[in-house]
Amino acid sequence: MGSKLIVFVVLGVASLLLHSSKATDYEVGDSTGWKAPSDSSFYSTWASGKTFTVGDTLKFTFATGVHDVATVSKSDYDSCNIAGQSNVSTTGPTTITLSAPGHFLLSLCTFSDHCSRGQKLSITVVASSTPSTPLRPLTTRYTAYSSIFLSIFLSTTSIIVTVTSTAAIALSFLESRCYLGFGVYVHCHKFHALLVVHVTVAVFWCFAIQHRCALILA
């Protein structure tokens, strides 16, 4: 029971961590897609307020042969220099994965005056955050199980004390009967051995249960 509980807790924490670190897929321009906008600040407005993280993807949806996506330097981005660009994707849609933190400058398009009309995107990529290892959550369910195991721990301690005390009294009684005669002595000896075995087994299992509870409560 305790092992299953710990497994559930670990899986739950792992699930939360995976969810929190999941990459985001962005559709550049949303429903507008990637094209020369009527408002030159359209794509800068679209990017504002968003946090782009390493592992995220940017999907540029455009018609092949009408637009493209070129990754350029800052100076080329600022001046909309479309000549001689080599890092160009000409087939739409194009998906770019943000693989490193820093300033990513994506100038689109190298077609005609599209860049000067605002078809360009500048974003800053930040490193993905690595959450610190969380402490084991003290959930209500876990606390309930802890109370149960603590109760078992205390109960087995009481049983050990009771069994050993009772065994001591019984052994003393049997030993006093052993001196009544030879036949009684043999009969007493058999019960004596049987009682020792049972007491030993009972105490062993109590200590085993206590050890298990102590590990779970630790």
Q: What is the pLDDT of residues 1-45, one digit of tens each?
A: 434 433 333 344 344 444 445 789 999 999 999 999 999 999 999
The share of the chain scoring above pLDDT 90, in percent, equals: 42
Q: Could you say which DSSP state residue 42 is in?
A: H
Q: Which of 57-61, 127-131, 166-170, 189-193 has the lowest mean pLDDT?
A: 189-193
Predicted pLDDT of residue 202: 65
Q: What mean pLDDT do residues 210-214 have?
A: 62
Assign residue 26 a region (left: φ > 0; alpha: ψ between -120 and 50; beta: otherwise): beta
Confidence of residue 107 (pLDDT cuts 50, 70, 90): confident
Confidence (pLDDT) at 14: 42
Q: Is the model's pLDDT at 47 over the cut of 90? A: yes
Burial code (b: 16+ CB inside 10 Å, e: under 16) for 23-37 equals eeebbbbeeebbbbb
Residue 110: pLDDT over 90: yes
> Please, what sign has the CA dihedral across residues 71, 84, 64, 109?
positive
pLDDT winner (highest mean) among 66-70, 96-100, 173-177, 208-212? 66-70
Q: Which has the minimum average pLDDT: 6-20, 36-50, 97-111, 159-173?
A: 6-20
Predicted local distance difference test score (pLDDT) of residue 21: 54
| Predicted confidence band of residue 65 (pLDDT cuts 50, 70, 90) | very high
Average pLDDT (88-109) is 88
pTM: 0.52
**Residue 141 pLDDT grade (very low, low, confident, very high; cuts 50, 70, 90):** very low
Alpha carbons 43 and 41: distance in angstroms, whole number: 6
Structure confidence at residue 105 (pLDDT): 73
Most confident of 16-30, 124-138, 166-180: 16-30
Measured distance CA(2)–CA(7) in Å, rounded: 9
Phi, psi (5° rounding) for residue 125? Answer: -105, 130
Q: How far is CA 62 from CA 21, 57, 91, 117, in A?
A: 29, 16, 8, 16
